[in-house]
Structure 1
């Protein structure tokens, strides 16, 4: 099974990359997703960049965290967030709002959602120092 640390480092890297792209050159996402460039989109994109910055810092700082309730909460919240983003992406694609380029985001989001959810499921019955299944 892939480790929490590995997933967290990957998440941190991707989130930081998205932060920089949204701050410095948000036009790339308009082009990739096939949506019209508008001032509102640039405004929201830059604000979203700060959320990606926070996610990047959270996952980087938590990468070495041992199993705990806090780590489980991080796994579950990121899994749900990524799944929600993927579902929104699918909806936007099917409704014609976004082009086929949104599939890159959807695949990335589903991948992170599944990986974090897998870790959450693997450890959900484990109490620190005691595995409930074997008790």
Structure 2
């Protein structure tokens, strides 16, 4: 399944914006789903993470019409790196018993996004 960068950028922007909104206004949703204790400290971290997710959403929304180029490849490689690290850390946290199996849904989405971006980079300029 080949997905255009335009579509992938819009979907990514939407997903990341939704994640940012949840972390900002309802962090207990993720914390509870992941089996992590909801506390003032975890909500503080969640609100700070929301800013990062929102920033990535804005970057991909603005770049949605970018032609194949080194900056577009850099955005894609950065997202793949981020999502793969998040997926691996989620699985490790689950295996170590620090998170419930609910975190695996996030890891699957992160892995899927990574694979879609890697597939889309097959014709992109090399770094």
TM-score, structure 2 normalization: 0.94
The structural deviation recorded for 1:3 is 0.6
Greater C-alpha radius of gyration: 1
For 1:120 and 1:95, how far apart are their aligned partners in 2?
33
Taking the TM superposition and a 5 Å limit, the aligned residue runs for 1:69-80 are 69-80=70-81
Structure 2 portions without partners, runs of 5+: none
What is aligned with 2:114? 113
Cα offsets for 1:79-127 (capped at 9, x unmatched): 11100100000100100011010111001000011111122233245xx
Give yes or no for the alignment of 1:94 onto 2:102: no
- Count of aligned positions: 125
What is aligned with 2:14? 13
Higher relative contact order (CA 8 A, sep 6+): 2
Structure 1 portions without partners, runs of 5+: 126-135
Moved over 3 A (4+): none
TM-score, structure 1 normalization: 0.89
For 1:101 and 1:122, how far apart are their aligned partners in 2?
35
For 2:11 and 2:63, how far apart are their aligned partners in 1?
12
Q: State the Cα RMSD in Å.
A: 1.0
